[in-house]
Structure 1
Amino acid sequence: MRTAVIAGASGLVGKELVYYLSGSPEYSRIHLLVRRQMENPGDKIIEHLIDFDQLVDFSLEERIDDVYCALGTTMKKAGSKDAFRRVDLEYVVTLAKRAKELGAHRFLVVSSMGADPKSMFFYNRIKGKMEKAIRKVGMETTIIVRPSLLLGDRKEKRFSEEFSAVLMKILRPLIPKKYRAVSAGKVAGSMYHMALTASPGLHILESNEIQDME
């Protein structure tokens, strides 16, 4: 049986990952890296309250198989480009490096449709730089998922995203699958499936592939 680490467990995709892994017979233990304790985390779950600025010092006394990274923020929540870069780029890359040092076999990360280190858009550029950096880490298996707009219940309300989600639902039949909004549960499910089935190497799932996955 496997042991997993989930970073970003309180977010949309992170919460769904906790659901999938805690109910899976493939995993005997799940370690959550969190800033604050979660409610009713489950029997298999061990929470680690950490300062993500000190992520380089994180360690476990047992073997790790899979590291799931669903870390991410928004410009509004981060407050500045530097703060956004720290969460969506630096924390993620540090986690990938630490995962390899701790002997993990697979690193799975949520990126974004349009990720490109040369993009004119700051968000996409940071995601692209993150992807480029984790590829260089040299994990046995690296799995990157690039969802479009995420659907799910958020703690904080984001008017622009809610409006976009409603609009995309109305226009769904006219929108190419790659650009359609995708549920956080579908993203988490695709990551779980890939962790169990993917061969060693680099795998990138675009949003349409995420939606097609059973």
Structure 2
Amino acid sequence: MKTRSILLAGFVLGTFAISGVSLVAVTHEAVDGRIADNQYQAMKRKLETILPAGRADNDPLRDHIQVAARDLLGTETTQVYRARKGEDPVALVLEPVVPDGYAGPIKLLISVLHDGTLGGVRVVSHHETPGLGDKIEEAKSDWILAFTGKSLTDPPLDKWGVKRDGGEFDQFTGATITPRSIVNAVKNALLYVDQQGDRLFRPVEPAVPAEREKS
């Protein structure tokens, strides 16, 4: 009888343990799914602010590539989202990094329309000084909105700088490094897109299986 009771207790405990592990796994999966969906929706809203409304009919968040252009885009690999209308290119949205911000790297979202003009620029993350460099945030000032509609010819390339350096873009009182770095990063993103052209819109080539590579 004693042995039977021990076995029964062990069975009950084992059942509770399995149920507990299963519940944790299901809960973790549900939470992860909710977090992923929230991140997707947040990113979608950001893209909508810098892409022309109604011009694209695809989902750029599901039509993207990674590129390697550290010299112009500031990081080893950069995500590029493609907006299309049917098969026609509409815009590209790049996620470059400004490596030389005053207080550290600054992550940007830059929309470049197919005609080479900027659809908009937004700051995704930064560590700039509150009250000075943080004016790059749309919520703090409208400085970042001045890029919309600009291109490599408007202003001319030699005017892509802050006014203190002879360029056309405003700097902040007491903070020149931050806007200078962002102006340069936006110019470099435009240069990259101009160099690459429609190659950035090409479909992603499927991976070749190892067996076929050897043949």
- Which of the five TM-score ranges fits, normalised by the shorter chain? under 0.3
**TM-score of the superposition, structure 1-length normalised?**
0.27
Larger of the two Rg values belongs to structure: 2
**TM-score of the superposition, structure 2-length normalised?**
0.27
Q: Which has the higher contact order (CA 8 A, sep 6+)?
A: 1
